[in-house]
A and B are shown apart, each in its own frame.
Chain A
Amino acid sequence: MRRVNKDQKVRVSLTLNGRKVSAETEARTLLCDFLRHSLGATGTHVGCEHGVCGCCTVQIDGAAVRSCLTLAIQAEGRDVRTVESLAGPDGKLNRLQQAFQNNHALQCGFCTPGILMSFTDFLSRNPKPTEDELREVLSGHICRCTGYAGIMAALREAVGADGNEHDETRRQT
């Protein structure tokens, strides 16, 4: 049994974007804060801190979840992926990211990392979703710039449902 007392420091190890990492923290530290403050991975944004806005969405073992409703210690030993994992090593955007850029699907960009991580999970399970399914998944995110039309356009392009032929080089992730 894993046990940590409240006044005790604990070393949490996990795999972040394919790399084994660890840092000292407390039992009460949220995964989003652990990523940003302890591991320096600031791509994940923190909005409402009670699971409503979706900004902090990351993947744990491939499943998109709220990192503000997850303790760092719950992710111990797990495979955590954040927005930093999406672009290629040369900084080349992947297909989903490129579709966001093409369609002006971000204004301030605060909500974008969470949305990208949600759809990276969802589209891997369901590569040819309906419009309603895309909207249902997007309903788990709040964009305070209210740029939902651009986001939906980007998602349609990313799944090839926008009726346009795109340059094949853009499609490669």
Chain B
Amino acid sequence: MKPRPFDYARPDTIEEAVALLAEYGDDARVLAGGQSLMAMMNLRLADPAILIDIARIEEMSHIRDLGDTIEVGAAVIQNRLLAWPALKAKLPLLAVALPWVGHFQTRNKGTVCGSIAHADPSSEIPLSLATLGGEVVLRSARGERVLKASEFQVDMLTTAREGDELVVAARFPVKPGCRAAFREVARRHGDFAMVAVAATVDGDGTTRLGIGGMAGTPVVREIAEGNVKDTVEQTIAELEGYEDLHASAELRRDILRNLAPVVVAEAQSCAA
């Protein structure tokens, strides 16, 4: 199908974009890469009065090394971050997680922050941001605020972003000596994951397990040494998982039970 008619605005600056958001609030939708939003509009699941196209705003097209974090602006497409020469050294989790995001063709247009703002519970980028304990930078005409990933994504496709706020960047923490692994199970590579698992092992030995597709938001657990199985079983008991047309809750639990130890072992064994 085709989208319903809408007003279109392509601001040149963040200031212009947030002024539009202040005026239209929830009647507006922000368009960056459009790899989820345009599909929803074509299917008429989304019907904004105005579309605010931020893809050409220069101030948000940066990948910036801030020392302890890497800041990725809201206009940065996924394949650009994937091709960033320092990615493997600075953000090894993103280096292994990004190839799972959609397809080569959708990563050519989909943005890093767009995926975070869309907040699909099985998405790889929000899961990576949560596992690393990253942050989301929000701007409005009222000012700026920075939320932790766990504060930003509150439920399935739901975030703490107010109607007049624009996601301007995401900040991914750099952890010295971090090793990482990422795997997911989907019906077909590039489809929505039934369950996605991220694992990181920091230089100090802290092991973190990030789980997508089992709840409305990514779930992150620290794992005490050699205790992967207990942590997974405990998490399964807490979360239960949910049922949709892709998988039953039982299948999700089963995938997690089998996948998590593999991913954690892979992160532990890979070279820093």
The interface-forming segment of B103-111, B124-132, B249-257 is B103-111
Q: A69-B34, A139-B190 are in contact. Are A51 and B39 (CB under 8 A)?
A: yes
Distance to closest chain A CB from B104 (angstroms): 5
The interface-forming segment of B1-9, B143-151, B161-169, B240-248 is B1-9
* Contacts of A1-36 to chain B: CB distance below 8 A: 1-7, 26-28, 30, 33
Q: A1-B9, A5-B7 are in contact. Are A140 and B2 (CB under 8 A)?
A: no
Instruction: Flag whether B43 is at the interface (Cβ < 8 A).
Output: yes
Q: A1-B10, A49-B1, A139-B188 are in contact. Are A64 and B39 (CB under 8 A)?
A: no
Q: Select which of A1, A33, A69 is within 8 A of B38 by beta carbon.
A: A69
Q: Select which of A64, A71, A74 is within 8 A of B104 by beta carbon.
A: A64
Q: Select which of A2, A28, A51, A54 is within 8 A of B3 by beta carbon.
A: A28
Q: Select which of B12, B39, B42, B103 is within 8 A of A139 by beta carbon.
A: B103
* Contacts of B1-58 to chain A: CB distance below 8 A: 1-12, 16, 31, 34-35, 38-39, 42-43, 51, 53, 55
Per-position binary interface string of chain B over residues 173-195, scored 1 when its CB falls under 8 Å from any chain A CB and 0 otherwise: 00000000000000011100000
A1/B34 in contact, CB under 8 A: no
B1/A54 in contact, CB under 8 A: no
Instruction: Flag whether A122 is at the interface (Cβ < 8 A).
Output: yes
Distance to closest chain B CB from A26 (angstroms): 7
State the interface size on chain B (CB cutoff 8 A).
Answer: 35
A74/B7 in contact, CB under 8 A: no
SS of A interface (majority) = mixed
Q: Select which of A60, A74, A118, A139 is within 8 A of B34 by beta carbon.
A: A74
Distance to closest chain A CB from B118 (angstroms): 13
State the interface size on chain A (CB cutoff 8 A).
Answer: 35
Across the interface, which residues of B come within 8 angstroms of A54, CB to CB?
103, 105
Docked complex Cα distance between A154 and B188 (Å): 22
Docked complex Cα distance between A106 and B91 (Å): 41
Docked complex Cα distance between A43 and B11 (Å): 32
Q: A7-B5, A28-B3, A66-B109 are in contact. Are A140 and B10 (CB under 8 A)?
A: no
A6/B6 in contact, CB under 8 A: yes
* Contacts of B179-226 to chain A: CB distance below 8 A: 188-190
Q: A33-B2, A51-B39 are in contact. Are A70 and B8 (CB under 8 A)?
A: no
B10/A3 in contact, CB under 8 A: yes
Q: Select which of A1, A26, A50, A118 is within 8 A of B105 by beta carbon.
A: A118
Across the interface, which residues of A come within 8 angstroms of B43, CB to CB?
50
Q: A51-B39, A51-B106 are in contact. Are A30 and B2 (CB under 8 A)?
A: yes
A140/B104 in contact, CB under 8 A: yes
Contacts A65-B109, A74-B34, A118-B105 supplied; 6 other A-B pairs, CB < 8 Å:
A27-B6, A28-B4, A51-B38, A64-B104, A139-B189, A140-B103
| Chain B residues within 8 Å of A, Cβ to Cβ | 1-12, 16, 31, 34-35, 38-39, 42-43, 51, 53, 55, 79, 99, 102-106, 108-109, 188-190
Question: Can you report 18 A-B residue pairs in the complex whose CB atoms are below 8 A from each other?
Answer: A2-B10, A3-B7, A6-B7, A26-B5, A27-B8, A28-B5, A51-B38, A54-B105, A64-B108, A66-B35, A66-B105, A68-B38, A69-B34, A69-B38, A71-B8, A71-B53, A74-B34, A122-B104
4 tightest Cβ-Cβ pairs between the two chains A and B = A140-B103, A27-B8, A6-B5, A2-B10
